[in-house]
Amino acid sequence: MSIPETARAYQLRKDGDAVAAHFTDVPVAAIGGGDLLVRVTHSSVNYKDGLAATGTAPIARTYPLIGGIDAAGVVVEAAGGHAAGDRVVVTGFDLSEKHDGGYAEYLRVPASWAVSVPEGLGLWESMVLGTAGVTAALGIHQLERNGLTPGAGPVAVTGASGGVGAIAVSMLAGLGYEVTAFTGKQDAHEALRRYGAATVAARPDTESVRALGPATWAGAMDSVGGQTLAWLVSTMQRGAGIASYGNAGGVQVATTVMPFILRGVNLLGINSGWFDDGVRRELWQRMASDLKPAHLDEIGHTVEFDGLPDVCRAIVTGAVHGRTVVHIADES
């Protein structure tokens, strides 16, 4: 197929101290950088994308820059083992920070950043997963490496109504874990039970966290940070791990060394932007098999490209449940 001279994009621009995002036409030759050109069909909206697009936090390191930390589409200029027509997904790395992201009709990236979409996943499904799915899968992978197995006891998931949380609940339940989902959104309780949570609870009381609380959790997935993470640290079983990947509740964690030296609690940092390429490919294969959430069609919903700004504004206020997929173009 012929490649157009320009592509529609949702671009971040900075004027003084103010950052704003706008739709504009950008020369395809100027988008991104690398040896692989992808015609983007779908992207997604992550909390980080909302922060960047609204100027709420300084996510981008250079301007102008196309937003979107996720992209899925079809290869149009082959490289690095990816042939023209192959379906690929790109998440993390420097997208929407130093490198143009997925909110454009075309994206050029280093071929090593792209992963072939495995059999068992469609392009839309790959963006329901996206960075959120990779984060949840990497968290589970690290907890498994720490020794977590089904039957060891309950696994806590905080921020469970968000994108990563909802996917984590469904993944863990599918593997046979007893999941306790924590959320501050009462209207999300029924959905979380459908996703497989054995228990759905309100946000934990973190006003007065003890150095050592009841040894409750065999594992935990935390997107909140702050005092919630401090509470989790104090209530883990011996040798248990916490996958930490968010700071929605703050970056300061007021804890003590006691859970670490008396119970051997392990705090596992999750950076889904940069990690081993082999593990990344393995996790995408698992997300098409044993880690594929059974409720992707319910967790994800679609917005057309024109509706992206509204979702970016809504997600930073906590008004978005689950995952939003941005439809940019049809696959064929």
State which residues form the domain around 95.
Answer: 6-117+296-327
Task: Write the CATH number for 230.
Answer: 3.40.50.720
Q: Which two tokens stand for residue 113?
A: 């950043």
> Are 98 and 145 part of one and the same domain?
no
> Are 144 and 104 part of one and the same domain?
no
Is 125 part of a structural domain of the chain? no
> Are 21 and 112 part of one and the same domain?
yes
Burial class (CB in 10 A: 0-12, 13-18, 19+), 176: exposed
Query: Which pLDDT does position 230 carry in this prediction?
Result: 97
> Are 207 and 80 part of one and the same domain?
no
> Are 255 and 158 part of one and the same domain?
yes
Q: Choose among 43, 48, 224: nearest CA to 129.
A: 43
Is 88 part of a structural domain of the chain? yes
> Are 110 and 225 part of one and the same domain?
no
Burial class (CB in 10 A: 0-12, 13-18, 19+), 289: exposed
> Are 65 and 137 part of one and the same domain?
no
> Are 264 and 171 part of one and the same domain?
yes
> Are 98 and 63 part of one and the same domain?
yes
Distance CA 156, CA 199 (A): 10
Check if the beta carbon of residue 33 is closer than 8 Å to that of residue 99.
Answer: yes
> Are 251 and 300 part of one and the same domain?
no
Query: Which pLDDT does position 205 carry in this prediction?
Result: 87
Q: Which residues pair with 75 in a beta bridge?
A: 38
Q: What is the 3-state secondary structure (H, E, C) of 26-40?
A: EEHHHCCCCCEEEEE
Is 257 part of a structural domain of the chain? yes
What is the distance of C-alpha 18 from the center of its chain? 26
For the chain (332 residues), the mean pLDDT of every run of 10, in chain order, is 94 93 98 98 96 94 97 95 97 95 98 97 98 98 98 97 95 98 95 98 90 97 97 98 94 96 98 95 98 95 98 93 96 84
> Are 89 and 195 part of one and the same domain?
no
Is 280 part of a structural domain of the chain? no
> Are 79 and 16 part of one and the same domain?
yes
User: Among all chains, which residue has been given the structure tokens 């490289």?
Assistant: 79
Q: Choose among 107, 129, 111: nearest CA to 120.
A: 129
Start-to-end CA distance of the chain, whole Å, equals 11
Q: 218: helix, coil or strand?
A: strand
Sign of CA dihedral 124, 304, 40, 278: negative
Is 237 part of a structural domain of the chain? yes
Is 283 part of a structural domain of the chain? no
Is 1 part of a structural domain of the chain? no
Half-sphere exposure of 249 (CA within 13 A, CB side): 22
Which ranges constitute the DSSP H helices of the chain? 47-54, 123-145, 163-174, 189-195, 226-234, 258-262, 277-287, 296-299, 308-316
Is 274 part of a structural domain of the chain? no
Query: Which pLDDT does position 137 carry in this prediction?
Result: 99
- Predicted TM-score (pTM) of the model is 0.95
Query: Which pLDDT does position 248 carry in this prediction?
Result: 85
Query: Which pLDDT does position 332 carry in this prediction?
Result: 79
Distance CA 77, CA 84 (A): 6
Number of domains in the chain: 2
Give the CA distances from residue 315 to residues 19, 310, 323, in Å, rounded to whole numbers and listed in that order: 17, 9, 10
Task: Write the CATH number for 49.
Answer: 3.90.180.10
